[in-house]
Chain A
């Protein structure tokens, strides 16, 4: 079973990389751009048939290593 995990900085945490990318796109003429937050993407394959159990495992991976919960939020999606 495969999952994607997206990790982004929390709303209140400064994201200087995202800001620079945003400014560059605006300078390139992308006028309708409202905001950009840069993040990380993981694709995780779990050897498990039960979706609930698999999601639980991925959630544990996020909490224990992949995500710093002080500054980051994450979303898990089945792919």
Chain B
């Protein structure tokens, strides 16, 4: 499976995701944001970091970069697209995913391992997980507070487009388990065709027991499935 990781000035999880993808036997290429051609890819990853120093709004400037037109074209023709953290913010700024990520409710940058629950395990990204499986995944963001309008929220629920929700150790999605104030504890969403996933937690940081755990690995093996 061929993957491309888009690199912006200020991306800082691009190497981590590349290492995770290569560990899982993806044939990966790094693509600079000024490039106008995207290599043939089955998966495009928009990585985490602080593209353009979060100027204007997180992801706003990266969302208008040259390569993004190609990403949008590929996404519209069915290519799989994964946006992690700043990548999720960038995807909402491009319009590929609806909604937006507001500043964390407590106004603090949060870097910690949190529990998330797999709500939909029938997608290209999550099919190796069990439904309602609880994962421990790192989050590291200042703007992760997912917000959208009622119409979109209804669509997310009705069409089963919420991939992950924040929860406690027992899987309860209560406010105490909501790290950033996200609407209904939402941690990751899909587009209506389910070929685009945006998520704030970092699965690429959870692929090796030496540094963390392996809870993120099944996201990549799902893609290979």
> Residues of A with Cβ closer than 8 Å to B?
13-14, 16-17, 20, 64-66, 68, 70-71
- Indicate whether A20 sits within 8 Å of B107 (C-beta atoms), given known contacts A13-B102, A68-B60, A68-B100: yes
B148 A70 Cβ-Cβ under 8 A? yes
Cβ contact within 8 Å between B99 and A70? yes
Asked if A14 and B102 sit within 8 Å, CB to CB, the answer is yes
Q: Given known contacts A14-B181, A20-B107, A65-B56, is B102 in contact with A71 (CB within 8 Å)?
A: yes
What residues of chain B lie closer than 8 Å to A66, measured between beta carbons?
56
Residues of A within 8 A of B147 (CB): 13, 70-71
Give a binary string over B89-108; 1 marks a CB under 8 Å from any A CB, 0 the rest. Answer: 00001000011101101110
Those of B55-98 within 8 Å (CB) of chain A = 56-57, 60, 64, 93, 98
B149 within 8 A of A: yes
In the complex, residue of chain A having the shortest beta-carbon distance to the beta carbon of B63: A65
CA distance A17 to B108 in the complex (A): 11
Roughly how many angstroms separate A20 CA and B93 CA in the complex, as a whole number? 27
Min CB–CB distance B223 → chain A (angstroms): 29
What distance in Å separates the Cβ of B1 from its nearest Cβ neighbour in chain A? Answer: 33
What is the distance, in angstroms, from A63's C-beta to the closest C-beta of chain B? 12
Closest Cβ of chain A: how far from B92's Cβ, in Å?
8
Residue numbers in B under 8 Å from A17 (CB-CB): 103, 107
- What is the bound-complex CA distance between A13 and B181, given in angstroms? 12
Collect the chain B residues with CB atoms within 8 Å of residue A71's CB: 100, 102, 147
- Residues of chain B within 8 A (CB-CB) of A13 are 102, 147
Bound-state CA distance A20–B206 (Å) is 35
B60 touches A65 (CB 8 A): yes
Cβ-closest chain A residue relative to B93: A68
Centre residue among A13, A20, A71 by max chain B CB count within 10 A: A71
Query: Distance (Å) between the CB of A40 and the closest chain B CB?
Result: 8
Interface string of B166-187 (1 = CB under 8 A from A): 0000000000000001000000
Q: How distant is the Cα of A66 from the Cα of B102 in the complex, in angstroms?
A: 16
Chain B residues with Cβ below 8 Å from A70 are 98-100, 147-149
Distance (whole angstroms) from the CB of A38 to the closest CB of chain B? 10
Q: Mark B36-63, 1 if CB is under 8 A from A, else 0.
A: 0000000000000000000011001000
| Cα distance A64–B60 in the bound complex, in angstroms | 10
What separation, in Å, do the CA atoms of A66 and B60 have in the docked complex? 9
